[in-house]
Structure 1
Amino acid sequence: MEYAGEIQRKKRLLQYLCIIGLFSIFSTTIAKNPVLPLYAESLGAGNATIGLISAVSPFAGILLSFPVGVLSDHLGRRRLLLLSGVVFLLAPLMYLAAVDPLLLIPIRFFHGMATAILGPVVGAVIAEEFGEHKGEMMGTYSSATLAGRSAAPLIGGAVLSLFAAAPAVSAYHIVYLIAFAAGIPVFLLMLRYHDPGTVRNLSSVTVSSFRENLLVFFRNRGLRCASAAEMATYFCFGTFETFLPLYLLTAGISAWQTGIIFFVQVIIIAATKPFFGRLADRCDPIRQILFGLLLTGGSLGAFSLTGSFWLLLGISCVFGIGMSLSTVAANVYAATVAEQNRLGASMGALSSIMDIGHSAGPLIAGVAVTVAGYTASFVLCLLTALAVFGYIILGTRQ
């Protein structure tokens, strides 16, 4: 009976986490895509300001994910989840009060704090609670977040279209009220989570705690390899989502066809992550990471070889499979090789490095596009994936 009760408890926990992931990522995504640049422009922002507003959210992840992970190891997961829930609840209301586009910069950073906290803390919770099944559960949770990420721009765009005749600010405000409404179940469900073990108070966290955890992370070969894989994969993904639409335009692919290419890829990633997570639980996650890197880099390098919609759609599907393979396996491998009392710190550092790759991809590839064209940027991603492929082989050799 106790065993059956434990299974039911974990099943409910996963359901809670998936609902949290769905609504939280929906909330933060609808707040930025496609409404944020349009809202900023309506407040008088220029292109440079709009770019800065968009950049601060991933910067929050780079800056905060690791310290948040360390704090969750010391103070417990619940306290950090509740803090994240408060941010998800309050941030959408702050957009409503913005009267100057520059105010959107601190608001967007504040909103970015929510996902910077949520990602590594939930990753640590799943790794702790689900043990040998953590890969499958991480994949299931990730699929739930992708569902929220996919639905948000569709609903946000529909709202803006429906209220196009209304004053522009009113239409934007409706979108941010929807984001606020999505934050309500997130906060309420976070209230229901309780840490399974004992937690300490804030006095147990010192500067040396952060330094020690960072040193332990980078001394661990497995964690270095997992973080390199995440950085390379999201370097490729950042380049893909930023420059592929522009490349497809030059290749004569219409906007609706480009939308299909991106939509099908998201569906493939969401559908395959639980399966690939289960595979990483049962097989060697390193091999899965390596295969995923080859598919991700190779498919991105192949985009410039054809202008056929159907071939491009197929290549995009391969890219999605490669990304699904490598990302879920990297998280499983990191959780496996990390010290159990440092799971939060390890998942936080992994998340920060992932955000660095995601941000660096468009920046570096943008230079490559300017200097040598789109093909050069895609080949650069292929070379990055191959370099990390070699690094992981050398780093994991016994």
Structure 2
Amino acid sequence: MSGRTSSPGWLDGISLEVRCLCIISFVSAMGFGIQSPAIPVFGQSLGMGSAMIGLIIASFPFARLLMAWPGGSLVNHLGEYRVLGGGLTLLALSSLGAGLAGSAQELLVFRGLCGVGSIFYSISAMSLMLRTTDASNRGRAAGLFMGAYYVGAVTGPAIGSLFVGMSVRLPFFIYGAATGAAAIVALVLLRHLRHRRSPQTAQAPASVGVAQALRLTSYRAALASNFAIGFAVYGVRVSVLPLFLLVVLQQPAKWIGIGLTVGALAQTLLLPKSGQWADAWGRKPTLILGLLLVLCSFLIILGGQSLTAYLIGMAAMGLGTAFCSTSAAAIAGDTADGRGGTVIATYQMSADLGMVVGPVLIGLIAQYQSYPIALACTAALLVLATLISLAMPGKRPQERHRE
């Protein structure tokens, strides 16, 4: 069907697989948010110090980063269906194990296994989402998939704070039950994908490798953008910017949560629309627009030096992140074209790496130099990512697909 539609509905051209993955994404993210507030309280109840609690919290993203490449290889060899089901099952069982943990060491092990299950699930889900969607609709699919995740991520902590008062172990059991239910949904509704490859993929060339993908300027731009967003938004925004608010702007701590909520809401509300625009306008303009918005958000906060500027900057950061995440994910999908689990894994690793490096590096600069210099360095990284993105081709996905 090649006719133009002036205003496609959110689900037009979105496969059954993607709709199922959106449900799973929401349930998984909400469950993760429910148990997040319980970790420090649970750690204290087991007699842990702050360092051990921090190590347990860090074990989840560290395991994700460590196992991303093996997860991508498994997707290439076993297919998305098996890795998706296995990842969700491991996530459910390890969450239940964490709830039953009787020592710091047990909780550390189970939280690490949760990270392994999480990265296996997320790589296979994103690979499946991008593979089962036509190139002209990948932006919208990515927007819906990520939008479902962020709705769950925003609502989860609020719900979780209610359960912590009942029992510090209960949120882990709820998370385990939620991901277990998601695993059943995936295994039942997606059982037609249980064969390693679909008929279309079976006739396709061999899997796209990372070395081959890195030759493409568009894929390099997606990696640079994802690293910069992980560094600035998912790293600096939640670590250094709150301290900037307290130390430099000298505002009450309540504005930390309000600012993060403003950014999260702006990002969540724009995600479905930003995906449509990534398909209609092309990947390059939406990616550059997103990076410029995130760059401007840091400049607004740095230049305004006021609570109003801080909140405006957080909102702009959320809007820019929505554009970047949908367009960069669509670029990764265009590159892999359903035949590159390690391509998707490397794309996700770039954001995880940014999340690890950003808070540490910018935190050190803020501590030993100043907060303005630290934020200026973050802005410089965003400028570099924007320049890399300017070099990518400007063709729309439909035009690339026909060539």
How far apart are 1:285 and its partner, in Å? 0.9
2:239 to 239, 242, 245: 242
Shift of 1:331: 0.8
Distance 1:8 1:217 in 2: 29
C-alpha distance 197-152 of structure 1, shift in aligned 2 (>3 A): closer
Say whether 1:50 aligns with 2:53. Answer: yes
In 2, the alpha carbon distance for the partners of 1:11 and 1:393 equals 31
- Whole-angstrom distance in 2 between the partners of 1:158 and 1:74: 42
When structure 1 is superposed on structure 2, of 317-326 and 220-229 the one drifting more is 220-229
**1:8/1:320 CA distance change after superposition, 3 Å:** closer
Q: CA deviation at 1:145?
A: 0.7
Equivalent residue number for residue 310 of structure 1: 308
Task: State the alpha-carbon separation in 2 of the partners of residues 330 and 9 from structure 1.
Answer: 20
Structure 2: which 5+ runs fail to align?
1-10, 198-205, 396-403
**What SS does structure 2 have at the residue aligned with 1:219?**
coil
The verdict on how the C-alpha distance between 1:67 and 1:260 changes in structure 2, with shifts beyond 3 A counting, is same
**Kept after mapping to 1: 8 A contact 2:130/2:338:** no
Offset, 1:14: 3.0
C-alpha separation between the residues in 2 aligned to 1:331 and 1:10? 16
Amino acid at match of 2:89: V
Residue 220 of structure 1 aligns with an amino acid whose one-letter code is L
Contact 1:76–1:195, Cα closer than 8 Å, also in 2: no
Q: Distance in 2 between matches of 1:397 and 1:17?
A: 29
Give the Å deviation of 1:70: 2.6
* Alignment partners' CA distance in 1, 2:99 and 2:63: 21
Higher helix fraction: Structure 1 or Structure 2?
Answer: 1
**Alignment match, 1:324:** 322
C-alpha change, 1:221 and 1:182, in structure 2 (3 Å) is same
Partners of 2:154 and 2:295 in 1: how far apart? 23
Partner residue in 2 for 1:373: 370
* Separation (CA, whole Å) in 2 of partners of 1:11 and 1:333: 19
The residue type paired with residue 366 of structure 1 is: G
Q: Distance in 1 between matches of 2:305 and 2:391?
A: 37
Superimposed CA distance per residue, residues 285-308 of structure 1 (whole angstroms, 9 cap, x where no aligned partner): 112112211211221233233353
CA contact (8 A) 2:300 2:309 kept: no
* Equivalent in 266, 269, 279 of residue 268 of structure 1: 266
Give SS of 1:341's match: coil
Contact 2:82 2:194 in 1 (8 A): no
| Aligned equivalent of 1:277 | 275
1:325 offset after TM fit, Å? 0.9
| Matched residue, 1:222 | 218
> How do 1:162-241 residues align onto structure 2 when only pairs under 5 Å count?
162-163=165-166, 171-192=167-188, 193-194=190-191, 196=193, 198-199=195-196, 213-237=209-233, 238-241=235-238
* TM-score with structure 2 setting the length: 0.86
Structure 2 Cα separation of the partners of residues 81 and 144 of structure 1: 17
Could you tell me which amino acid in structure 2 is paired with residue 310 of structure 1? Answer: T
Percent of residue pairs identical: 23
Larger deviation: 73-82 or 12-21?
12-21
Q: Is the 8 A contact 2:34 2:156 kept in 1?
A: yes
In the alignment, which of 59, 63, 73 is matched to residue 62 of structure 2?
59
1:3-152 matches, within 5 Å, as: 11-31=15-35, 33-131=36-134, 132-152=136-156
What does residue 253 of structure 1 align with? Answer: 251
Q: Which residue of 2 aligns with 1:353?
A: 350
Q: Is the 8 A contact 1:64 1:352 kept in 2?
A: no
**TM (normalized to structure 1)?**
0.87
Name the amino acid aligned to 2:312: G
Letter in 1 for 2:96: L
Cα 1:143–1:395 shift into 2, 3 Å = closer
Q: Distance in 1 between matches of 2:172 and 2:107?
A: 13
Q: How far apart are the structure 1 equivalents of 2:383 and 2:20?
A: 38
* Residue identity opposite 2:72 in structure 1: G
* AA at the equivalent of 1:365: I
Whole-Å separation in 1 of the counterparts to 2:42 and 2:253: 22
Q: Cα gap change, 1:262/1:347 in structure 2, threshold over 3 Å: closer, same or farther?
A: same
1:37 to partner: Cα distance? 2.0
- Tell me the amino acid that sits aligned with residue 248 of structure 1: L
Counterpart secondary structure, 2:191: coil
Amino acid at match of 2:239: T
Q: Deviations over 1:324-366 (max 9, x none)?
A: 1111111111211335422x22111100111101111101111
| Number of the residue aligned with 2:400 | none
Task: List runs of 5+ in structure 1 lacking aligned partners.
Answer: 1-6, 164-170, 201-208
User: 2:12, 2:79 → 1: CA distance?
Assistant: 22
Count matched residues: 373
Distance (Å, rounded) in 1 between the aligned partners of 2:336 and 2:163? 44
Q: Could you tell which deviates more after superposition, 141-150 or 62-71?
A: 62-71
